[in-house]
Amino acid sequence: MKIEFVSGPVLPNTSPIAYVVDQEALPAGVEAVVAEGAKVSRFAGKTGQLHEAFVNRDGVVVRMALVGAGEPGSKDRTAALERAGAAITAKYLASGETALTIDFSGTRLTGRDVAAVLLGARLRGWRHDIYRTKLPEEQKPSLATIKVAGAPEGSIAAWATEAALADGVELTRELVTEPANIIYPESFVERATARLESAGLKVRVLDEKDMAKLGMGALLGVAQGSVRPARLLVMEWNGGADADRPVAFVGKGVTFDTGGISLKPPGGMEDMKWDMGGAGAVTGAMLALAGRKAKANVVGVCGLVENMPDGNAQRPGDVVTTMSGQTVEVINTDAEGRLVLCDAITWTQKEFSPAAVIDLATLTGAIIVSLGHEHGGIFSNDDALAEKLLAAGSASGDKLWRMPIGPAYDKLIDSPIADMKNVGPREGGSITAAQFIQRYVDKGTPWAHLDIAGMVWASKPGATWDKGATGYGVRVIDRFVRDHLEG
């Protein structure tokens, strides 16, 4: 969706026109018929409320909307403004209108406030309809342009930053939404690389021969049942001081997960195209950071595999040797994400000596049992890092909830024949998965694991997304970098 800033007064022949309204504060000069209609329909400017009206201005019938942004001083003001923008798009996306104008004239909103409205509007407009050949005309998106009038000073610069973030979220949604016959390790790399390099990122790719030489027995063990070869995608952004060690974000990228020999039930297996949501989030976040020229040194690493039950597939009971030299008894081949992450994290630490490692993964169904679809889980060996990520999640809307780790949980993954097994008991499944990953984090390295299995895909529309891929993870990474790495 195109966002276009325009100057001069909004003419009557511009239609529709939307106004962002604070709670209990209709715009000055609004027509009496509109004010009365809003009152009768109980429109009060509450967050996300929308009232549509038609008025006659200089002999022209104008379609207009009042959209609520809630209370000006609320602690969730930015989120409320995003919801206001999203409500506008949701109303007009398939309305037949190709363009609309949001008029900010006379408001008390700042440039950042305007950018928040526009971010919500753009994110809510993302759809993936390329495979729908028989979509009824009235259901097809028509809205292509949002014009911005009367914007306060600083709006254009603020929007440039948020537009880069929107680019990243949209790339993540695209990667997560595409089916597994379209996005697999090689094609993930190809599609992402074109976007990333054009934004100024340094991109490297390790193939199976490279990873075999490095001893990545865990990651390659997951991939060995598929005809699709594994890849390690490496993205570097150096926008900070030369002496600053980078922060590393590592993403699980299982482009399709059958469970391997420990086969998943057929019902719902099609959803496992989004088991690369962690890698998708890291890739989208790297694009966003490069797009807004973030003043920080950041590296993104994605372990990309497909988990299939071929005759050459890894078996339950196999023992693999990881790049770190530690051995793993593979009890369940459907606990594959941690096997991908452990080698990716080991390589990242050896290659970059990062100041911190943060991994993102759709790792366990257990986290959904614990937190539903409201929060991602965060596990960390560093309280300060955990608090920063929790704050970034709250500020960005990609909410997180801290979960415990500790020695009592760690011993549950001890193996009688190897250094560890890849699953513990049924109880505390997301915790023992985190304990497994922690065994590969170098001593003294701050680390956080974000289990986002319940957040990357939505069965119904949300505030700023349609049902389907949410783009979760991009915004919490971006906010963390803004608040704690860029100073």
Residues 274, 287: Cα–Cα separation, whole Å: 19
Amino acid at 130: I
Burial tier of 450 (Cβ tally within 10 Å: 0-12, 13-18, 19+) = buried
Residues 19, 41: Cα–Cα separation, whole Å: 17
User: SS3 for 88-115, per residue?
Assistant: HHHHHCCCCCCEEEEECCCCCCCHHHHH
**Cβ atoms within 10 Å of 407's Cβ, excluding its own:** 7
Q: Name which of 282, 285, 201 is nearest 237 in CA terms.
A: 201
**SS3 (DSSP) at 203:** strand
Residue position matching structure tokens 């704050």: 391
Active site residues per annotation: 264, 338
Q: Tokens at residue 316, please?
A: 């339950």
Residues 358, 361: Cα–Cα separation, whole Å: 10
Residues 466, 461: Cα–Cα separation, whole Å: 4
User: Element (H or E) spanning 77, and its range?
Assistant: helix 77-92
Residues 122, 327: Cα–Cα separation, whole Å: 47
Residues 175, 287: Cα–Cα separation, whole Å: 13
